[in-house]
A and B are shown apart, each in its own frame.
Chain A
Amino acid sequence: SYELTQPPSVSVSPGQTARITCSGDALPKQYAYWYQQKPGQAPVLVIYKDSERPSGIPERFSGSSSGTTVTLTISGVQAEDEADYYCQSADSSGTYEVFGTGTKVTVL
């Protein structure tokens, strides 16, 4: 089955930049999406179609794509950004949606 691989954890100091990667063979053909999940809450979409930001999401969240890797960047990290982040895409057929393994962002 298709897999999207993320680092288990990323630690960053307030005001610094956090970068979370997501790797998958089909990413050159399929868009990626990013969700933020805080403890005890439902996931919230923060990036769609690789780099688009939904309304209401702070500008410090951005996304990019290069080959088989997509990256979520949080610039000027704030304490409130501490959460789990999941990428989402699909296999090359596009039939079945797949979530990444998840990355816990810790703000030091």
Chain B
Amino acid sequence: QVQLVESGGGLVKPGGSLRLSCAASGFTFSDYYMSWIRQAPGKGLEWVSYISSSGSTIYYADSVKGRFTISRDNAKNSLYLQMNSLRAEDTAVYYCARVRSGTPNWFDPWGQGTLVTVSS
């Protein structure tokens, strides 16, 4: 079955960096756009970024543009999120999700999430 497993979360100081990974299985990873979505503690969902199947098209939310970099390795069935210059407001559970093409795109399924805590 389709499975997405995130890793790499943890505690980091403000201004620090962290790299999240998402391992995909159960589908042809290279055929799909992929996305990162986050959820601050007790808050709603916020779309962060998505990347096309080849990696040639990338979009970011304004809140992370210039600080976060999304990438993928289709040979390894893996999605990544490099997070630099982290701020307290980046504290959240980060989910990776497979993107389904539509008007607009939607997300199915989602991984279980990995918690990123930015605190001194």
Closest 4 CB pairs of A and B: A90-B104, A99-B45, A42-B110, A45-B108
Interface size, B (range)? 20 to 34
Identify the closest chain A residue to B45 (Cβ).
Answer: A99
Given contacts A43-B110, A44-B109, A44-B110, contact A31 B44 (CB under 8 A): no
Q: A102 to B111: give the CA distance in the assembly, Å.
A: 19
Instruction: Check if B109 sits within 8 Å of A31, measured CB to CB.
Output: no
Instruction: Check if B110 sits within 8 Å of A94, measured CB to CB.
Output: no
Instruction: Check if A31 sits within 8 Å of B103, measured CB to CB.
Output: yes
Instruction: Check if B102 sits within 8 Å of A45, measured CB to CB.
Output: no
**Across-interface contacts of A30 in B (CB, < 8 A):** 103-104
> Could you mark each residue 76-108 of chain A with 1 if its beta carbon is under 8 Å from any beta carbon of chain B, else 0?
000000000010111000111111111000000
Q: A41 to B113: give the CA distance in the assembly, Å.
A: 8
Which residue of A33, A45, A48, A96 is within 8 Å of B109 (Cβ)? A45
Interface size, A (range)? 20 to 34
A49 at interface, CB cutoff 8 A: yes
Other than the given A42-B112, A45-B106, A88-B106, 14 more pairs (CB < 8 A) read: A30-B104, A31-B106, A42-B95, A43-B45, A43-B110, A44-B109, A48-B100, A48-B106, A48-B108, A88-B45, A89-B104, A99-B37, A99-B44, A102-B45
18 contacts between A and B (CB under 8 A): A30-B104, A33-B106, A35-B107, A42-B95, A42-B109, A42-B111, A42-B112, A43-B95, A48-B100, A48-B106, A48-B108, A95-B59, A97-B47, A97-B105, A97-B107, A99-B37, A101-B44, A102-B45
